[in-house]
Amino acid sequence: MAVRMDLCLEALSALTGCRVEASAAESQLMPQDVVNIAALKQFYRREGLQELEYPSLGSLSLGGPDDEDMYSAPLAVEGAPPPEPLEGPPIKINPATFFDPRFDYDFTNVKDGDRSFSRGEERYVRPCGWRRVALRVLGYDGGDAWLGTGPDAWPVSYHGNRMDGALGVTAIRRGPALEGAEPGALEEIEPGPVAGETYLRGVYSSTLVGVAEGYCKRFRSRGDGKTYKVVLQNRINPEQRRQCQREGLWVVTVAEGSGPAQTRASIQLALRPYGLLLKED
């Protein structure tokens, strides 16, 4: 059974902080924009900014607490819709060009046990317990090998809205730490902008959906009154990430002094969404 479209739109609204609505016209947001906005809002909040300027959308407020559940106020009258917390004009997307139902998958009752999967020659831990709504992402510049299962494919990672350096991690990078070290050995890098800190400027994601779930967005659907969790399933560029000491955690760093356009480009080169994961809370 397909996931209800109204639920998908509410999930996108929760991720972006914008009221997302369906339209037959050209989409104002594409799947890459969703991960850009979701990731950058947390990043810029960490930087102490109050607004995020985004092309075609204008200024997006960063002032609200991101861990508040959307539509969480109690209903005053049974059957009445909860108050709408989102401000500004709605963002229109065309479901026919935004989603790709050919690749939807229901992992709700899947248990992989000892079964093993890989993407890009790295372990792929499937999002068991979740339902995936596939995003239409074929046709990036450079081809679609990043979405495959072979050696050129990118590994899978999961992003929750509140994942950032507050996880308390130090990043490490692949490469010989000392002369004579084995190829592929892990080398610790400077743990932050100030000596002794563990925070690295950038966007965090995990190879484990359970880690992302702990930092994900929750929202109450106006369609059925139930509360859902939403996580983004991405592919992460193995050349543009840094591994953290915490198992299964990666960071895509953003250089000091990067402007908004350069920051968005850094994220797009490294983190591409291909699935919207939903789970009843």
Domain borders along the chain are: 5-280
Taking the C-alpha atoms of residue 46 and residue 202, their distance in angstroms, rounded to an integer, is 10
68-102 pLDDT, tens digit per residue, is 444 333 333 334 344 444 556 788 999 999 999 99
Paired residues of 192 in beta bridges = none
Taking the C-alpha atoms of residue 257 and residue 29, their distance in angstroms, rounded to an integer, is 26
150-184 pLDDT, tens digit per residue, is 889 999 999 988 876 556 555 554 444 334 444 44
**54 compared with 93, residue with greater pLDDT:** 93
**6 compared with 139, residue with greater pLDDT:** 6
- What is the pTM for the complete model shown? 0.82
Residue 63 CA from chain centroid, whole number: 20
Taking the C-alpha atoms of residue 253 and residue 270, their distance in angstroms, rounded to an integer, is 10
Picking from 195-209, 242-256, 257-271, which range would have the lowest pLDDT averaged per residue? 195-209
**pLDDT score of 65 more than 90:** no
What is the Cβ-side half-sphere exposure of residue 19, based on CA atoms within 13 angstroms? 9
Taking the C-alpha atoms of residue 170 and residue 247, their distance in angstroms, rounded to an integer, is 11
Per DSSP, the three-state class of 146 is helix
Is 37 in contact with 20 (CB distance < 8 Å)?
A: no
Return the structure tokens found at 138: 């074929």
Return the structure tokens found at 132: 């995936």
For residue 76, the surrounding DSSP H or E stretch is none
Taking the C-alpha atoms of residue 212 and residue 40, their distance in angstroms, rounded to an integer, is 16
For residue 115, the tally of other CB atoms under 10 A from its CB is 8
H helices present in 83-232, as ranges: 95-98, 209-213
pLDDT tier for residue 195 given thresholds of 50, 70 and 90:
very low
